[in-house]
Structure 1
Amino acid sequence: MKKFYYILLLSFMLLGFSADAQRQRPNPGEIEAQKTAFITNNLDLTPEQAQKFWPIYNASEKRMESIRRQQREALMKVRLNGGAVSDSEAWDLIENLMSWEQSMLDERKNLVAQLKGVVSPQQILKLKRAEEEFKRRLLQAMQRRRKN
């Protein structure tokens, strides 16, 4: 099973990152499929575990993306103003940033709590590392595409 996911991941990477070098950005669906294969492989999820893991993980990712979007929008408003904000606006932004960071931490704790009965503690530990490794590889692939 692990070999299947590894082969699937490699084929997605080859198709998504090298065959279509004309596009500036890979299709979000392709990235999600690659991420799914990468995490499944790195966590060595059984089919039964994967069936329970992915709905929990995807719901958590959706909530985290909502928080990240709020952060980006707030920071973009500041950038559009040339960085000029009043002291009270700056304090409001600082308060919001800290609140969003706390929300991200709370969501991560919630994810771990929900995964407790689904995957092993070792697999939960591997999850963060797999996410970071996937992001690193994705950024490297995108940088290579820009150079070409």
Structure 2
Amino acid sequence: MQAQQGYGYKNSEKIKALKTAFITDALKLTSKEAEKFWPIYNVYDSKIMDLRFKKTRELHQKIRDLGAIDALTEKDAKNFLNELIEIDKSIINAKTDLNKQLLEILSAKKILKLYRAEDDFNRHLLQRLQNTKRNSNYRPGGED
């Protein structure tokens, strides 16, 4: 278990470094902009990662612990839906806060470029993952 956590951490650090380079290149930040941008963005990105992955994963684990979706009562299912909506609202709030903070240091055009760069990076990462799976003996749900 510890090895898996270490491996995941190593990969997440590598992905973060690739994302930083990708965004830096896309935005062409001045050194003054970068000095102000990265601390703000890193806080936002950590919050989003926590919401999207940790909180959502915890919610899905709760569902599995109850025996999967089909085993849920309608009341439990509605509660889980509400929790998912709350996570989405938190993501929107974080993005709204990011926009406010970034508009103090970047143009609106650069912020739009940031969002495009994030989407492009995620597509690029997904494509690399799909290529890796295609070129290996990857089996979903299989043991490594």
TM-score tier after normalising by the smaller chain length: 0.7 to 0.9
Aligned to 2:101: 114
- Give RMSD over aligned pairs: 2.0
In percent, how many aligned pairs have the same letter?
A: 37
Q: How many residues in Structure 1 have an aligned counterpart in Structure 2?
A: 126
Q: Choose from 57, 68, 85 the match for 1:82.
A: 68
Cα distance in 2 for residues equivalent to 1:103 and 1:140: 28
1:73 aligns with 2:31: no
For residues 58 and 123 of structure 1, the distance between their equivalents in structure 2, rounded to whole angstroms, comes to 17
Pairing of 1:1-148 with structure 2 (within 5 A): 27-68=11-52, 69-80=54-65, 81-83=67-69, 84-148=71-135
Task: Provide the C-alpha distance between the structure 2 equivalents of 1:25 and 1:56, rounded to a whole number of angstroms.
Answer: 22
Q: Distance in 2 between matches of 1:98 and 1:119?
A: 30
What amino acid does structure 1 have at the position aligned with 2:44?
S
Q: Are the structure 2 counterparts of residues 26 and 139 from structure 1 closer, same or farther at C-alpha, using a change threshold of 3 Å? A: farther
Unaligned runs of 5+ in 1: 1-22
Q: Return the alpha-carbon distance in structure 2 between the equivalents of residues 62 and 138 of structure 1.
A: 18
- Cα distance between partner residues in 1 of 2:92 and 2:15: 24
* Structure 2: gaps spanning 5 or more residues: 1-6, 136-144
TM-score computed with the length of structure 2 as normaliser: 0.80
User: Which contiguous aligned blocks of 4+ residues in structure 1 show a shift greater than 4 angstroms?
Assistant: 23-26
Task: Describe the SS at the equivalent of 1:118.
Answer: coil
Deviation of the 1:45 alpha carbon: 0.9
Counterpart CA distance in 2 for 1:86 and 1:25 is 36
What residue identity is the alignment partner of 2:28? D
Structure 1-normalised TM-score?
0.78
| Partner Cα distance (1:126, 1:78) in 2 | 37
Deviations 1:51-77 (A, max 9, x none): 110110010111112212112211233
Cα offset for 1:143?
1.5
Shift of 1:146: 2.0
CA contact (8 A) 1:24 1:146 kept: no
CA distance in 1, matches of 2:50, 2:42: 12
